């Protein structure tokens, strides 16, 4: 593109045109670099946003799993307490039966010894 007001035969004006063209090319190169940098930054930002979204979903899933696990643990704890009390009651009942049968054996042994072998 030529400028009608500039004489191309004048070396100073010609140098001025060359400098101006170089500046235009440099400006375009800087602009292109800036646009590439913006595009790259946008891609990185979108990638980070996607990763954050996936991490959020993982955290939400972990929270649900944690709540579910806590509920199961609480139910299991209650069941174990019930089982423990049942076992304890059975042990007490067994101890009572052992005592009763031991007492009966002792009474029968005493009767045998005091009655010369006859009940």
Contact 2, 8 (CB under 8 A): yes
Summarize pLDDT for 44-77 with one digit per residue, the tens.
Answer: 999 999 999 999 999 988 888 999 999 999 999 9
d(C-alpha 102, C-alpha 106), whole Å? 6
Mean predicted lDDT score pLDDT of the chain = 85
Summarize pLDDT for 83-104 with one digit per residue, the tens.
Answer: 999 999 999 999 999 999 999 9
Q: Which residue has the tokens 């307490």?
A: 81
Summarize pLDDT for 21-31 with one digit per residue, the tens.
Answer: 777 787 888 88
| Structure-token pair, residue 44 | 């990185």
Cβ count within 10 A of residue 6? 13
pTM of the model: 0.49
The percent helix, strand, coil of the chain (3-state, each to 5) is 85, 0, 15
Contact 104, 96 (CB under 8 A): no
pLDDT at 6: 52
Contact 13, 6 (CB under 8 A): yes
């Amino acid at each position: 593109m030529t400028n009608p007001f500039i004489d191309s035969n004048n070396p100073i004006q010609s140098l001025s045109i060359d400098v101006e063209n170089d500046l235009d090319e440099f400006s375009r190169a800087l602009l292109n670099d800036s646009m590439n940098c913006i595009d790259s930054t946008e891609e990185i930002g979108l990638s980070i946003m996607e990763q954050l979204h996936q991490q959020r979903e993982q955290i939400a899933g972990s929270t649900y799993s944690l709540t579910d696990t806590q509920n199961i643990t609480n139910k299991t704890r209650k069941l174990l307490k019930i089982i423990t009390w049942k076992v304890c009651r059975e042990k007490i009942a067994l101890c009572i039966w052992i005592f009763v049968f031991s007492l009966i054996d002792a009474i029968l042994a005493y009767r045998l010894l005091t009655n010369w072998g006859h009940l």
